[in-house]
């Protein structure tokens, strides 16, 4: 799960690096949730959650800047999808993580997996050829 493959590449180096980091955060969360013990993971989960939020904001900003700069036609659609991701991550409360760790983390993993499938591998993939045709790699 959350293992990077070459076929995920959008052929723009910096963006691939950022996507890899998002995979990495998903993978960290997965490792924590998969631990078969009853240790309280509140601090670790909250830390990954805030790192995921921080990094996603950075990555989306980076992508949107390039889209604007190169006049990419699906810029608005991307902005909306990005905002939804941040909204979802932000909506997870400390109380929820505290009271229902397994449930919240499992849902979050499913959400990230779904995001990778539907955003990175579909929406982001759509700009690959456009950016490349503008000389951006």
In terms of CB distance, is 32 or 121 closer to Fe ion? 121
**Contact of 47 with 105, CB cutoff 8 Å:** no
Least separation in angstroms between residue 116's CB and Fe ion is 9
Least separation in angstroms between residue 9's CB and Fe ion is 12
CB atoms within 10 A of CB 100: 12
Q: Minimal CB distance to Fe ion: which residue?
A: 124
CB atoms within 10 A of CB 19: 22
In terms of CB distance, is 44 or 124 closer to Fe ion? 124
In terms of CB distance, is 12 or 97 closer to Fe ion? 12
10 Cα distance to chain centroid: 15
Least separation in angstroms between residue 56's CB and Fe ion is 9
85 Cα distance to chain centroid: 8
Contacts with Fe ion by CB under 5 A lie at 63, 78, 124
């Amino acid at each position: 799960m959350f293992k990077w493959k070459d076929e995920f590449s959008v052929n723009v180096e910096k963006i691939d690096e950022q996507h890899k980091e998002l995979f990495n955060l998903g993978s960290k969360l997965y490792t924590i949730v998969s631990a078969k013990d009853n240790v309280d993971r509140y601090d670790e989960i909250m830390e990954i959650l805030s790192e995921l939020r921080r990094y996603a904001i950075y990555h989306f900003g980076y992508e949107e800047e390039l889209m604007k700069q190169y006049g990419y036609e699906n810029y608005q659609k991307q902005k909306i999808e990005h905002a939804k991701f941040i909204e979802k991550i932000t909506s997870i409360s400390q109380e929820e993580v505290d009271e229902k760790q397994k449930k919240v983390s499992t849902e979050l993993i499913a959400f990230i997996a779904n995001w990778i499938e539907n955003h990175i591998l579909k929406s982001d993939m759509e700009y690959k050829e456009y950016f490349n045709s503008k000389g951006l790699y």
